[in-house]
Structure 1
Amino acid sequence: MNCNAQGLQNKPAVKPDSSIKTIHIYVALCDNKYQGIVPVPSKIGNGQDPNSNLYWGCSYGIRTYFKNSKEWKLIKTQKLDSIKLERLIFKHTTKNYYLIADAYNGKNIKECTKDFLRSSCGQLKNTINIDNKTIGISGNASLVAYIGHDGLMDFQLSETFRNTDAKTRDIIILACISKSYFSTHLKSAKVNPLVWTTGLMCPEAYTIHDAIVGYLNNESNEQIRTRAALAYSKYQKCGEKAAKNLLVTGW
């Protein structure tokens, strides 16, 4: 077993199929009880119930929105453990991309945040087997994303997330004021921030879904950010200018 500097154990080194690209989304389920959020209705703010959660099972949650997308096909659902309550594996309908989304118990938002940061810098790398192929997840994914409450508003992290392999990973962070709170931890991670935020926001799935459309089309950071902003403006009815001020790209 390999261990990183923080003592985190990865799975035994298995090389993923280099011809297959992956996107890994870490979702901290919305949780009225364990997160410092403005409370939402109790049913959608239960961080221990993915099925009705605002960021997962609701109409604009990751699971429901991507299942309804014509661009993605759900090929596997897994129940993992008491921290990762559910994993979804999607395959793109026209491109050789897999998308893995993990729903973290809302009270484990700190673990979710750390796993995202460790993946972003390459400290955490794993693989899974699907369709008789070995695909890379965590730090083996080309795009790593975080969805949920900005837990860094509530807790501090003492770890250093320094890049381990000289690879630049693309990231998306849809959480309130994420550029300000996450940038300090990612300065030495060598990441390419496609989309993150300057203010308060609702991290529902349409924003990252449309950003990924641009990503798969090899668009520029600015084009990807514009897609995200247009989606956010459409669903939040906040205006394109406001959405572009909120959703920014780069350092």
Structure 2
Amino acid sequence: MLSVLLLSLWAASPGGTVEVEVFVPLCDNALIACGRQAAGDPRALDSNLYWGARYGAERFLSRAPGFVVRSRQDRPASDAVLRELVLERPAAQGERTVRLVLRAYAGDRIDAALEDFLRAASGASQADLVVWAGHDRLMDVPPPKLPPLPGATPRPVVVLACMSERYFGPVLQALGARPVALTRTMMAPEAYLLEALASTVAKHGPTHAPALRTALVDAYARYQRIPPRAASSVFSRLEPPAP
């Protein structure tokens, strides 16, 4: 029902800005193999695999055609969030502007990132789409116990992490959030997938699961240099919302 309502509002209200909130826990060599030492330094924004490397969120998106950096704010070293980056993808004909709010969490504070993400998914965020892009922490630990948020509206959610359908799917379902893109296999949660999401949201809205999946598959095949069929196996085929 939530998905039908959101799609109806999208169709009836052209123009405006869509906000996408993205949680990016930095890669941490203490948890997974991130590559060279600097790529897995959990607090190295400039070199971290998921933030400052070639396909890291800030480096890739701040240079991607059609994206404009609106603000960049560093946080105190004691904060779980190291940097907040706000980008916009201005609307072309027939599109909406997409505003991306990306938060780089210290990799050694990934549990704080997970709690914040799940709270956002359950309705603490007012973003139109909530995204996790990084290591699947639920492969390592049980989900945190979160207090209910009375009156909150759960958000549409994308989880770009290894096997997120298996690990995040049941947790999101229990929160009432509706996943619009999940994964079935091991994968690389790289920033060209965020670019593909933003471009598709601009055209089709934040809840059009088939369009989002197609865009993710196409981008993954292109950048990973694998056949589309192989890329297709990475992303879940989610059931459309009930009428």
TM interval, short-chain normalised: 0.7 to 0.9
* 1:32 corresponding residue in structure 2: 29
Pairing 1:1-251 to 2, within 5 Å after superposition: 20-33=17-30, 35=31, 37-81=32-76, 82=78, 83-94=80-91, 95-122=96-123, 124=124, 139-160=125-146, 164-165=150-151, 167-218=153-204, 220-250=208-238
Task: Give the number of the structure whose residues are more often strand, by fraction.
Answer: 1
Is the CA contact (8 Å cut-off) linking 1:77 and 1:88 kept in structure 2? yes
Return the alpha-carbon distance in structure 2 between the equivalents of residues 77 and 156 of structure 1. Answer: 33
**Structure 1 residues 249 and 117, CA gap change in structure 2 (3 angstroms):** farther
Is the CA contact (8 Å cut-off) linking 1:163 and 1:188 kept in structure 2? no
TM-score (ref. length: structure 1): 0.80
What do the CA deviations read for 1:205-250 (whole angstroms, capped 9, x no partner)?
0112112211121163112101101101111122211111111242
Is the CA contact (8 Å cut-off) linking 2:22 and 2:130 kept in structure 1? yes
Gaps of 5+ in 2: 1-15
What do the CA deviations read for 1:155-195 (whole angstroms, capped 9, x no partner)?
11241475644635221111111110011211133323221
Question: Runs in 1 of length 4+ with deviation above 6 angstroms?
Answer: none
SS of match in other structure, 2:138: helix
Is the CA contact (8 Å cut-off) linking 2:29 and 2:41 kept in structure 1? yes
What is the identity percentage for the equivalent residue pairs of Structure 1 and Structure 2? 29
**Structure 1 residues 233 and 159, CA gap change in structure 2 (3 angstroms):** same
SS of match in other structure, 2:40: coil
Instruction: Using CA pairs under 8 Å that are at least 6 residues apart, name the structure with larger relative contact order, 1 or 2.
Output: 2
Return the alpha-carbon distance in structure 2 between the equivalents of residues 70 and 161 of structure 1. Answer: 41
Counterpart residue identity of residue 243, structure 1: A
SS of match in other structure, 1:215: helix
CA RMSD of aligned residues (A): 1.8
Return the alpha-carbon distance in structure 2 between the equivalents of residues 92 and 118 of structure 1. Answer: 26
TM-score (ref. length: structure 2): 0.83
Return the alpha-carbon distance in structure 2 between the equivalents of residues 161 and 69 of structure 1. Answer: 39
SS of match in other structure, 1:201: coil
**Structure 1 residues 158 and 20, CA gap change in structure 2 (3 angstroms):** same
Counterpart residue identity of residue 181, structure 1: Y
Q: Number of paired residues?
A: 216
Bigger mean CA deviation after superposition, 161-170 or 174-183? 161-170
Is the CA contact (8 Å cut-off) linking 1:121 and 1:161 kept in structure 2? no
Q: How far 1:93 moved relative to its partner?
A: 2.1
Q: How far 1:41 moved relative to its partner?
A: 1.0
